[in-house]
Chains A and B, each alone.
Chain A
Amino acid sequence: MTMAQTARLHDDARVNARCSHCGTPVPSEELRLGDELQFCCNGCRHVYGFLRSEGLDRNYYRLRRADSRENVPATVTGRRFTDFDNDIFEKAHVETLDSGHKRTRLFLEGVHCAACVWLVERLGDEHEGVVRLRLDLPRATAEIEWNPQVTALSAIARRLDAYGYAPHAVQSGGVADLRRREERGLLVRLGVAAACAMNIMLIEVALYAGEYEGIAPHFREFFSWVSFLLCLPVVFYAALPFFSAALAGLKNRFPHMDLPISLGISSGFIYSTVSVLSGEGPIYFDSTSALVALLLAGRYVQQRSQRAAVELSERMQHAGRAEFARKRNENGTFEEVPPEALVAGDLVEVLSGDTLPADGNVVEGRSSLDASILTGESRPVRVEAGAEVVAGAVNLGGRLIVRVDAEGERTRLGRLMKLVEEASGRRAKIVATADVVSRYFVSAVLVLAALTAAIWLVRDPARAMEHVIALLVVTCPCALGLATPVAISVALARAAKTGIYIKDADVLERLRRVDRAAFDKTGTLTGGRLELVHWDGDDATARLAFAVERQSSHPLARALRSRFRALETSIPEADSVEERLGRGIEGRVERTRVALGNANYLESLGISVTEAWRSKADDLAERAWTPVFVAVDGQVCALAGFADPLRPEAKEFLEKLRKKGWALHLFSGDSPPVASTVGRLLGFGEREIRGGVSPEDKHDLVRTLKQEARKNGNRVLMIGDGVNDAAALAEADVGIAVQGGSGASIGAAHVTLTQPGLEPVAELLDGSRRTLRIIYRNLLFSLGYNLVCATLAMMGKIDPLAAAVLMPISSLTVISYGVLGRSFGTRRRAASA
């Protein structure tokens, strides 16, 4: 940092301080006045210190500044990662190479820029025993090869963690490998087809010129044979996927786009081959091979564009579950093991911030748990010795020792995930418009071909075959087959750029028929975080309340502190603070006695709560806010109301959907009174609100909605964020996981949002509508084009040259409209303009 920067920091540190590590603004409570270096969080402070001690800071920060990507604060977990050395982990994620080295892939949290690549890959040079380390930046996955005799994976993982890149096991494993092989295979086919097609075209130029200018027969024969040879790998290797898909479609009695494509390719090839062998007649090798190359290109592009969303969801699918457990050994120490290694009866330690790895009973310690991910309940649950706890809940308070009852799939979370998997597996593939169009298209082409044959058999039997083939080649739905994939892949890529990850292109089409939607409350329509939304009292009381609450880690205390942050510098010290779980807190501040809590709690302390205060509190309770009284020296002086506030745009957004004629429902895991109060505020009718529903109930409710919607052929949309929504999201025709959603919900949903709020949902609806419009127009265009060409072919006006010119023109038209047409991202652009 330069002198000038330091000076400026001192001047207006409160306004301008940026983290010395990640560059994000430093929140006021983290500011350390007078320090040259400022950090936004402990993670960044830690990483900065570590890089400096290793002498890596200079290069790292130079690269980091040069990169314009958005910055993220670093997190350091401080874990031991011994579970990475466990046999169970190795079996699932590590492969042993012939050389005796081991190899695995780890997903690194927080990797985002060029400097990250440099720092992570440097570890390959610095860490003894690491043979090879390559980071894939877009996927944030490091491939690590190491010598197990020299180092252990846990040691490498600890080092990565210290750099601020918390490593996680990559869960998808075999599926990702399979997909990678598939994608590579497709690319090789595309390469072969393109290379052959371009060379055939060069040769055909000579042949076409020969048609007009005259060509020596031995040249003509030679060129024809060469283009025949070049077309062989195109048809018998590159185009195989089309043939096999067309055959599969025929077997299922469901002909789709691949059938007319295969028909065009094979008829073009066979007829041209006959022409070459007989030494006369037109050849279509150039059109055929160019067609294959273009179609493969469309398919490859689409596959790659869906990859980002698919990978994101796979990565998150297991994220709701604990990644590791601290299990007690025989000698009484705790060791990190994979959760799969737990058996009933084991004792595990759960520290603050950890996710519970299994269902069980608390043996020791007391704390509060956030089980909202599982139940949707926005308030934390108090637990102490003897309490039952569930896997997936997050420990917010102190250390707990838990005896394991059920682990893995036997936990409530495990069963729930099973339900999710079943719902996802059951989802029927919908019939895309393009497939419907192509079904009619095939029949139409075949009828036209028969007609052509009939007409020409009467008029000129010798040329009948030639014209039929010309028809088949020229109507081969190149544009039809390209129009949809291109428009979809461009839309998916643009959507991903605006923070909307669409896993499945079918979603666009399904959204069109949605007429009812179900919403989760906590975290979806609300912000998912308690805030102080009402304060009836003066600043002096606030100061005293702050002093007492400063010693508590309860979410209500946190909400109060963040509301009165401005007062922070003038807060006195509190002593003899005592907190009663779930009821209230009491302490002494500057010789006054301050107590916060509900009416029962204050009365148990001998403080009377007057009717006036009680009725005020009732008013708050009516709005589903949690009232908390503040008493100073035995007198109630203030009333605070806490709530999980609604998202500001929620009401307007729902109104917009209602105007479209959608039926909206609210399914909340929160208690029925809270759900119905919030629901009424948002304009839901009493019958549309269901409170206190379990995850299984949500799933069933969505299922019922689906059955109702099916009567009119309509679809159901579900929007949620928690693990408790996952099964419902998977069951719905379109499930959307909002930003900040749990891993399980992201894994189950068809669409994942990475921008906060409901605004992206509106963008998704608009964008998919525009995308479909592009697709329809393209389909219409290519149908019109094919109609013209078919007419020409039937009249006998199409020769190989005309086919070679007309086909690429139609393809280019649909590609350019697909690429240039407005689909996603227009809202963003309009907003920034």
Chain B
Amino acid sequence: MEVVFFLLPMSLLLVGGFVALFHWSVRSGQFDDMETPAIRMLFDDEEDAKLQNRQKVEENAPNRAETAEGR
């Protein structure tokens, strides 16, 4: 059972690490807005749609497509 003398401090270190991470995430504003990020993640699956949109733009207005490409 003497292994707890080693394990307990180790687990406390882990706790400290997580608290530090939590501290960082709060300070960087990740908990300020709890709604928008849930919506924002929906947009990432849209590469196809974006591509289609861009193609449509190219058809409609070639000069605007250039700026889109240049980005």
Contacts of A334 in B (CB 8 A): none
Contact of B33 among A62, A139, A191, A195 (CB under 8 A): A139
Cβ A135 vs Cβ B36 within 8 A: yes
Contact of A226 among B12, B52, B71 (CB under 8 A): B12
Q: Mark interface residues in A137-154 (1 if CB within 8 Å of B CB, else 0).
A: 111000000000000000
- Could you tell me the distance in whole angstroms from the C-beta of A122 to the nearest C-beta in chain B? 9
B4 contacts A58, C-beta separation under 8 Å? no
Cβ of A195 and Cβ of B18 under 8 Å apart?
yes
A136 within 8 Å of B by Cβ?
yes
Q: For the complex, is A56 an interface residue (Cβ under 8 Å from B)? A: yes
Nearest residue, chain A, Cβ from B32: A180
Asked if A184 and B27 sit within 8 Å, CB to CB, the answer is: yes
Task: Collect the chain A residues with CB atoms within 8 Å of residue B52's CB.
Answer: 58
Q: How far is the CA of A134 from the CA of B15 in the complex (A)?
A: 32
* A121 lies within 8 A of B40 (CB): yes
Scoring B residues 12 to 26 as 1 if CB is less than 8 Å from chain A, else 0, what string do you get? Answer: 100100110011001
Interface of B is mostly: helix
A188-B53 in contact given A180-B32, A199-B12 (Cβ < 8 Å): no
Contacts of B18 in A (CB 8 A): 195
Q: Most B CB atoms within 10 A — which of A55, A126, A203?
A: A55
A310 CB to closest chain B CB (Å) equals 15
A222 sits at the interface (CB 8 A): yes
* Interface residue A117 (Cβ < 8 Å from any Cβ of B): yes
A564 at the interface (CB under 8 A from B): no
Let me know if B69 is at the binding interface, CB within 8 A.
Answer: no
Rounded to whole angstroms, the CA-CA distance of A785 and B21 in the bound complex is 38
In the assembled complex, how far is the CB of residue B14 from the closest CB belonging to chain A, in whole angstroms?
A: 10
Annotate B53-64 by CB proximity to A: 1 below 8 A, 0 otherwise. Answer: 110110011001
Number of interface residues of B (CB under 8 A): 38
Q: Does A607 contact B (CB under 8 A)?
A: no
CB contact between A184 and one of B5, B32, B56 (< 8 Å): that residue: B32
Partner of A117, one of B8, B34, B40: B40
Give the one of A117, A135, A180 with max B CB within 10 A.
Answer: A117
Q: Is the CB of B39 within 8 A of A114?
A: yes
Bound together, the chains give a CA A222 to CA B3 distance in angstroms of: 12
Q: Are B19 and A192 in contact (CB under 8 A)?
A: yes
* A226/B39 in contact, CB under 8 A: no
- Docked CA distance A203–B4 (Å): 11
B69 to chain A, nearest CB (A): 13
8 Å CB contact of B26 from A114, A188, A229: A188
- Interface check A59, CB cutoff 8 A: yes
A59 touches B49 (CB 8 A): yes
Task: Tell me the residues in window 298-335 of chain A with beta carbons closer than 8 Å to chain B beta carbons.
Answer: none
Q: How far is the CA of A192 from the CA of B18 in the complex (A)?
A: 10
Flag whether A118 is at the interface (Cβ < 8 A).
Answer: yes
Q: Are the CB atoms of B53 and A58 closer together than 8 Å?
A: yes
A440 within 8 A of B: no
- From A222, which residue of chain B is reached at the shortest CB distance? B5
In the bound complex, do residue B56 and residue A58 qualify as a contact, i.e. CB atoms below 8 Å apart? Answer: yes
Q: Does B46 contact A (CB under 8 A)?
A: yes
Cβ-based interface call for A11 (8 A) = no
Given known contacts A55-B60, A219-B4, is B35 in contact with A195 (CB within 8 Å)?
Answer: no
Interface size classification for chain A: 35 or more
Which residues of chain A are within 8 angstroms of B53 by Cβ–Cβ distance? 55-56, 58-59
Within 8 A of B (CB), among A46-101: 53-56, 58-59, 62-63
The answer to whether B36 touches A138, judged by C-beta atoms less than 8 angstroms apart, is yes
Cβ-defined partner of A222 (8 Å) among B4, B43, B67: B4
- Tell me the complex Cα distance, A55–B8, Å: 59
Q: Which residues of A contact B60 (CB under 8 A)?
A: 53, 55
C-alpha gap A184/B32 in the complex (Å): 8
Measured between alpha carbons, how far is A322 from B40 in the docked complex, in Å? 34
Closest to A66 in B: B42
The yes or no answer to A596 lying at the interface (CB within 8 A) is: no
Known: A191-B19, A222-B5. A137 touches B26 (CB 8 A): no
Q: Does A230 contact B (CB under 8 A)?
A: yes
Interface residues of A: mostly helix, strand, loop or mixed? helix
Q: How far is the CB of B5 from chain A (nearest CB, A)?
A: 7
In the complex with contacts A59-B46, A192-B19, A184-B31 CB distance below 8 A: yes
Specify the chain B residue showing the minimal Cβ separation from A128.
B67
Question: Once bound together, how far apart are the Cα atoms of A699 and B27, in whole Å?
Answer: 43
Shortest C-beta distance, B3 to chain A (Å), equals: 12
A125 within 8 A of B: yes
> Is the Cβ of A136 less than 8 Å from the Cβ of B49?
no
Cα A62 to Cα B40 with chains together (Å): 15
In the complex, the answer to whether B1 meets A219 with C-beta atoms within 8 Å is yes
Task: With CB as the reference atom, state the residue of chain A lying closest to B46.
Answer: A59
Chain B residues in 8 Å Cβ range of A187: 26, 31
Cβ distance B21 to chain A, nearest Cβ, rounded Å: 10
Please tell me if the beta carbons of B71 and A125 are within 8 angstroms of each other in the complex: yes
Nearest chain A CB to B62 CB, angstrom units: 12
Bound form: Cα–Cα A453–B71 in Å: 77
Residue in chain B with minimal CB distance to A230: B12
Contact partners of B32 in chain A: CB under 8 A: 136, 180, 183-184
Question: When the two chains form the complex, which single residue of A117, A139, A183, A192 contacts B39, counting CB atoms closer than 8 Å?
Answer: A117
The interface residues of chain A lying within 8 Å CB-to-CB of B42 are: 63, 114
- In the assembly, what is the distance between CA of A56 and CA of B56, in Å? 10
Q: Are B56 and A55 in contact (CB under 8 A)?
A: yes
A59 to B52, CA, bound (A): 10
Residues of B close to A192: CB separation below 8 A: 19
Which residue of B11, B36, B49 is within 8 Å of A58 (Cβ)? B49
A183 contacts which chain B residues (CB < 8 A)? Answer: 32
B residues within 8 A CB of A203? 8
A52 to chain B, nearest CB (A): 9
| B residues in contact with A226, CB < 8 Å | 8, 12
CA–CA, A136 to B50, complex, Å?
23
Determine the residue in chain B with the shortest Cβ distance to A233: B19
Closest to A181 in B: B27
In the complex, A134→B37 CA distance in Å? 10
Contacts of B31 in A (CB 8 A): 184, 187
Give Cα distance in the complex from A203 to B27, angstroms.
Answer: 30
B50 near A195 (CB under 8 angstroms)?
no
Using CB atoms, name the residue of chain B closest to A60. Answer: B53
- Interface pair B12/A137, CB less than 8 Å apart: no
Contacts of A56 in B (CB 8 A): 53
Q: Are A59 and B50 within 8 A (Cβ)?
A: yes
Interface centre among B5, B39, B43 (most CB of A within 10 A): B39
With CB as the reference atom, state the residue of chain B lying closest to A198: B15
Binary contact readout A188-208 vs B (1 if CB under 8 angstroms, 0 otherwise): 100110011001000100000
Residues of B whose CB lies within 8 Å of any CB of A are 1, 4-5, 8, 11-12, 15, 18-19, 22-23, 26-27, 29, 31-36, 39-40, 42-43, 46, 49-50, 52-54, 56-57, 60-61, 64, 67-68, 71
7 closest Cβ pairs, A-B complex: A55-B57, A137-B36, A136-B33, A114-B39, A191-B22, A138-B35, A184-B26
What are 28 residue pairs bridging A and B, where the CB atoms are less than 8 Å apart in the complex? A54-B57, A54-B64, A55-B53, A55-B54, A55-B60, A55-B61, A55-B64, A58-B53, A59-B46, A59-B49, A59-B53, A62-B49, A63-B42, A114-B39, A117-B36, A117-B40, A118-B43, A121-B43, A136-B32, A137-B39, A138-B34, A138-B36, A139-B33, A180-B32, A191-B22, A192-B19, A195-B15, A222-B5
A187-B31, A230-B12 known; 9 other A-B pairs, CB under 8 Å? Answer: A53-B60, A54-B57, A59-B46, A63-B42, A118-B43, A188-B22, A191-B22, A191-B26, A195-B19
